[in-house]
């Protein structure tokens, strides 16, 4: 009976998401020359129209970030990354999470217990699918990232369940080189 309840709860929680069926191989760093607003250092708010976003974002990123979609669980290569570094918004380059706050939640998406700063994430109530949960968005470009739940580990007790397709990851050494402008 307990196993049934656990399986039922897990199945129900997965029903809360819509799945993107993209078969594209995901990039760990989606920065490209077609995105004029992407920056790891600029903190100004980005306000583009839906049509402008559609022109500059890859379709899988656009579907999740701008249409509030969800990638398939266990489809993100970022879920298994254990390197030290920083996770950025794949849409605008805003720093979102550091690797020290990442943990294995078993939910199928990269999970973190704390954002880089209070301003890096914004929150919005989400009552879709007859549920009550909290959507998290990038604090710079307001792109949909995922949701936050109150079942995470200490010290915050929070679980930021984030779609990997809207994250870029830069290893700590790469980020330092970019910051200082040093070459190998």
Residue 6 clears pLDDT 90, i.e. is over it: no
**pLDDT tier at 17 (50, 70, 90 boundaries)?**
very low
* pLDDT tens, residue by residue, 73-122: 999 999 989 999 999 999 999 999 999 999 999 999 999 999 999 999 99
Does pTM surpass 0.85?
no
Four-residue CA torsion sign, 168, 34, 43, 171: positive
Known active-site residue 161: yes
Give me the domains of the chain, ranges plus CATH numbers: 17-26+35-173 (2.170.150.20)
* Beta carbons within 8 Å of 10's beta carbon, 6+ residues apart: none
- Report pLDDT for 34: 82
Distance CA 109, CA 99 (A): 14
Distance CA 165, CA 163 (A): 6
% of residues, the chain, pLDDT over 90: 72
Cβ 52 vs Cβ 35: under 8 Å: no
Please name the helix (run of DSSP H) or strand (run of DSSP E) that holds residue 180, with its range, or none. helix 172-180
**pLDDT tier at 183 (50, 70, 90 boundaries)?**
low
- Report pLDDT for 32: 56
Which one of the listed residues 92, 107, 138, 161 is annotated catalytic? 161
* pLDDT tens, residue by residue, 115-159: 999 999 999 999 988 889 999 999 999 999 999 999 999 999 999
Query: 85: which strand partners?
Result: 171
* pLDDT tens, residue by residue, 23-63: 333 344 554 558 999 999 999 999 999 999 999 999 999 99
Query: 89: which strand partners?
Result: 167
């Amino acid at each position: 009976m307990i196993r049934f309840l656990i399986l039922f709860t897990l199945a129900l929680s997965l029903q809360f998401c819509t799945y993107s069926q993209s078969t594209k191989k995901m990039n760990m760093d989606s920065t490209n020359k077609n995105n004029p607003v992407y920056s790891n250092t600029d903190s100004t708010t980005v306000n583009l129209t839906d049509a402008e976003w559609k022109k500059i974002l890859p379709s899988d990123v656009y579907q999740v970030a701008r249409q509030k979609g969800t990638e398939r669980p266990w489809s993100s290569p970022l879920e298994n990354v254990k390197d030290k570094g920083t996770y950025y918004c794949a849409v605008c380059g805003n720093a979102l999470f550091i690797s020290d706050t990442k943990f294995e939640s078993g939910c199928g998406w990269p999970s973190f217990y704390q954002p880089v700063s209070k301003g890096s994430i914004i929150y919005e109530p989400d009552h879709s699918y007859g549920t009550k949960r909290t959507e998290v968005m990038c604090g710079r470009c307001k792109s949909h990232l995922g949701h936050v739940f109150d079942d995470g580990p200490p010290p915050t007790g929070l679980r930021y369940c984030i779609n990997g397709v809207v994250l870029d990851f830069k290893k700590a050494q790469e980020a330092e080189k970019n910051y200082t402008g040093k070459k190998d």
